[in-house]
Chains A and B, each alone.
Chain A
Amino acid sequence: MVRRRLLVAVPVLAATSAGMFALGAASPIDPAQQYAGAAAFTTSEENLAQIRANWGVDDPLPVQYARWVGHLLQGDLGWSTSRHEPVTSVLAARAGWTLLLVGAALALVLVTSLLLGTLAAYRRGGWLDRGLRASAYAVQSMPVFWLGLAAIALFALALGWLPAGGLTGITATGTDPADVARHLILPVGVLAVAQAPWFVLFIRDAVAESLRDDHVLAARARGLPGRTVLFGHALRTALLPFLTLVGTHLPELVGGAVLVETVFSLPGLGAVTVQAALGSDFPLLAATTLATTVVVLAANLVTDLAYAAADPRVRLDD
């Protein structure tokens, strides 16, 4: 199955890159004028034509696409027009912070939603259940960047507990882990809270359902303690579909990271993507979108593998 999934990834990536290239080609932006910047107004038409010829912008589109993909496959992601450096070095410098942000938020969401969702399912209709569901629906309609701004207004400005943005203090010379951790509390927390509703509601419903399963009733009938039945039997069955949810929700999390990085001025991929978009920087935009797609596809593969490992009924070879 691993090989089959990897084979499927190829057409997916090909289709994605072709779609993005088509959009880029349809764009009204002239790369030569963009490159020349303000000088475009004074540069002669011949010079602009020369730039276009050097870049091969006038070649037929399939030729351009093949050349672009060929470069991508060789690891040459192109030149970022908005940051004036190779796209690969932008990715190398930024990707780590985004992975840290997304990873920490995902871990936080998983732990809290498993705990809260299970407890809510156990006392269905109780105050915890009703409170959680009401707040989950409310949080679902709060844009993550609004939550971020509200968190800044409350925790950074009104209470002064945490820094309002950035990765390190203004006076810091390097990236001291403790300083970075303090700066990441709000962004990670906001991203986690914004994503939590889906996970909490899902776990709550899944556990509530599996609490009525035969094996859970049997465990109860044998007189096992409630905590063992709840976490060892009911939650365990509910975990399986949860894995898939994590996989399908990863794109949402990435989108949230883009907004959170912008709100908190974090030097991650998301913030750089927004700058690239504002500057119509096709190479950088295409690279970040493709890189994210690869990561999401890989993560989906991992969730499938985990599913197969966790549930013996799922066979790897079908």
Chain B
Amino acid sequence: MANTTLENDALKIDNEKGNFKYPESYSFDAGVGLTADTVEYISKVKEEDEWIRDFRLKALKVFQDKPMPTHWASKDLETIDFDKIRYYLSKGQKPSRTWDEVPDDVKETFERLGIPEQERKFLAGVEAQFDSEASYSRMKEDLEKEGVIFVGSTEGLMKYPEIFRPYFGKVIPTADNKFSALNSAVFSGGSFIYVPKGVKLKQPLQAYFRINAENFGQFERTLIIADEGSEITYMEGCTAPKFETATLHSAVVELVALKGAKIQYITVQNWSNNVFNLVTKRGLAEEDAEVRWIDCNIGSRLTMKYPGVVLKGEGARGEVLSIALANDGQHQDTGAKMIHLADKTTSNIISKSISIGKGRSTYRGQVHMPKHLKNCKNNTECDALLINTNSRTDTYPAITTRGENNTVQHEASVSKVSAEQIFYMMQRGLSEGQAMSLAVNGFVNDLMRQFPMEYSVELKRLIDMEMEGSVG
């Protein structure tokens, strides 16, 4: 990225910022390549029960049998060499409990991300993941008192099988797609969260992910269950160091919102520009429940991510708000899925994308309303902003509607920053870069305002980092 040249000097972006790399010292390493042995090794190291091992092995078979989805997706997927990827890597450390125990280099990452110490302390629990294992996990005592469970994936399945097993792999079945199968075979890390009935978490739970080993794919697995009437906000953000060869990130995130529960899941994705980010995210909303995905994709080489909500109970609500920024060499293939399965369900999708240089952003969406449903509503808005003459954007929604009194509306528009706007601002003394930055901020501003404060601050910082060089 550092060597790429943009047509417009005003838009040159310093991509070295946010590139971190630290020495590696891994005590557990499954080697490269993926076979049944790799899977058994992972399961053995993690001391898992037999059923989990069987689940992994079955998933491996599905992964190997499924073809690459290149009949509709980018051919770039074919460049992934599954034999050169490390599928498991652990520091061999138990999740640490206090801030002091967190390795300094991880702290440094937080520092560069610009999360102030004060804010960090304020946030309820911080689950920072260093490669496969949670390197730091902490929950405030009052959260524990309320019965909230916040653990890693293996721990969750081993210690609380009665809570997590019934939903594990149910929202996103192993065979959902090739990459959900891959994750099911080699998952490690991630968060398993249970919020008991009626508990409303005031502060968001947070986890930062980082990749820090060459050729190492991160396969975290997250399952959040919000019991009846409970509320939770979960924040996930990631930065990754820059490597020469591509790395693979393939997560599976399942959300279950039981009757009247609310889950808000927030992601800042800022992997380095050689990461394939192929993630499956889906939420299940029971009666009157609400699942909201806030998704922001700034990094990675290719991101394919379509957060979905299955609206299973009457009156359920689903929402996806997303911002994607594609720079040179990047393809942000993102979107949303809304599957309506009950009457009076409503869903809302708002997607904004910005393509810079030769960047390409794609919106893929699915809205499904089967027959015999009544009074369902969907609203979809996709806006794309193209900065340079060779930027590219695509929109591919798929909408199926049946039933009575259902309303679906989809709107998409493509525009550029208008020359008049830039001229107007420059004429009042702003530089071209400043004007451009303001215009881009204005484009995403109305969506950003809907995000939680700490998220929008960080997001603005990341977008500014991408647009850097255009200012001044």
Mutual binders A and B = no
Q: Using CB atoms and an 8 Å cutoff, list the residues of chain B in contact with chain A.
A: none
